[in-house]
Amino acid sequence: MASWKAKKGNPFERLIAYNLMLLGYDVNRIDDNTKGIDLLANKLNTGLFIIECKFHKSFSWNEIEKVFNKTANTAARSFPNTHYSPIFIFKSNQQPILVAYKDVIHYKLHVTTFHTFFQMKEDQKIQQIPKGYKVWKVLEGKKNE
């Protein structure tokens, strides 16, 4: 039987991938169990985001910083000659989806909402995945094109 973490984590990862696709990003799933990286999202004029997704009961600032740093370090090892921005997308129970990132000038950790980070319009909402829609199958189909 799947743990409660698996029941929350994978659906959250799929939700993020689906919404990034709706925003025009080319999304790829990292399925080789690279610790600290779940998704790659690329969009012309925006660049490549290396993403870790987590849905937990709660997060402390130290946990956010630890996960972000792990993602940044893994990205540096896995993509040494690539221009990218590591981000940590997370959600706690009863809270909005948040994004942790470091600014390029001062390299300080910031947290903002998913809507703000991805410059969504005020009336845009996070879309739930339609019943029966297979996010990973769509992503795999895009890879083979």
Tell me which DSSP letter residue 95 carries: S
Question: What average pLDDT score do residues 8-32 get?
Answer: 88
Tell me which DSSP letter residue 49 carries: E
Kindly list the strands in the beta sheet with 39-43, ordered across the sheet, starting from the edge strand earlier in the chain: 26-29, 39-43, 47-56, 85-92, 98-102, 109-113
Global confidence as pTM: 0.86
Separation between Cα atoms, residue 60 and residue 122, nearest integer Å: 28
Q: Structural domain of residue 101, as residue ranges?
A: 4-143
Pairing mode of beta strands 98-102, 26-29: unpaired
pLDDT of 4 over the 50 cut: no
pLDDT at 2: 47
Tens-digit pLDDT profile for residues 61-113: 999 999 999 999 999 998 888 889 999 999 999 899 999 999 878 889 999 99
Contact 97, 126 (CB under 8 A): yes
pLDDT: which is higher, 44 or 64 = 64
Q: What is the CATH number of the domain that holds 51?
A: 3.40.1350.10
Domain count, the chain: 1
Contact 31, 71 (CB under 8 A): no
End-to-end CA distance of the chain: 35
Closest CA to 93 of 1, 12, 38: 12
In the structure encoding, which two tokens stand for residue 119, read together? Answer: 């410059």
pLDDT at 50: 94
